[in-house]
Amino acid sequence: MIFTEFPPKYGGMQTHAFEMAKRLSQSYEVVVYTYKAIELKTEAELFDRQAPYKVKRILSRISFFSNIKKIISDIPHEKPQLIYSSTIYYGILREFIPIPIVCRSVGNDLLRPWIIYPFRFGSHLMQSSFMETIFNRIKKNIDKPPTIDIILKNIRIKLAKRCAMGAELILGNSEYTKSF
């Protein structure tokens, strides 16, 4: 299971992820891949030790292709029969591994593609906690020029379409999302 939001922070998406993993782990072996804990690191470590399933906080919030590479190299150790992702973006894994992928979409992943760094080039540099911290500070303190945002949005939309095409099944949370 690949979750973009996961405890120890709590909100609707984190609760959904936690409950889904917990309930499935009662009948299946579950491994959760999620983002590295930069904030609330101690709380995340405590949560992970108490979880009734394996939690691997190895993903970067910035470096998408670095995440893909990490998952591809780790998946053979886990031997999954199915991958579930809380967004359409991890449907791209199907290009690299022969495992069915089910993705969920709540619409925002399609309407506002959030992949921050959608390039393979340099993705290994962007994956560090240091770069993530710096990028988050920059993002909070400046408005990006609209031209750059438009260029990145077009790249992100193309990538989102490519990712969605890899999914065996996409579960939309509404009729609008399903038709989109």
Question: Domain ranges in the chain?
Answer: 60-179
pLDDT of 106: 75
Burial class (CB within 10 angstroms; exposed 0-12, middle 13-18, buried 19+) of 80:
middle
Give the number of residues written for the chain: 180
* Cβ partners under 8 Å of residue 14, min gap 6: 5, 6, 7
Type and span of the H or E element at 59: strand 54-59
Separation of alpha carbons 10 and 24, rounded Å:
19
> SS3 for 40?
coil
- Residue 36 CA to residue 44 CA, distance in Å, equals 9
**pLDDT mean over 160-166:** 90
Q: Look up residue 151 and give its amino acid.
A: I
Least confident of 22-31, 103-112, 162-171: 103-112
- Tell me the pTM: 0.82
What does the pLDDT read at residue 70? 94
Is the pLDDT confidence value at 162 over 80?
yes
What pLDDT, in 10s, does the model give residues 92-117?
999 999 999 999 987 666 666 566 66
pLDDT value for 62: 81
- C-beta of residue 163 within 8 angstroms of C-beta of residue 89: yes
Q: How confident is the model at residue 49 (pLDDT cuts 50, 70, 90)?
A: very high
* pLDDT band at residue 143 using 50, 70 and 90 as cut-offs: low
- How far apart are the C-alpha atoms of 54 and 33, rounded to whole Å? 9
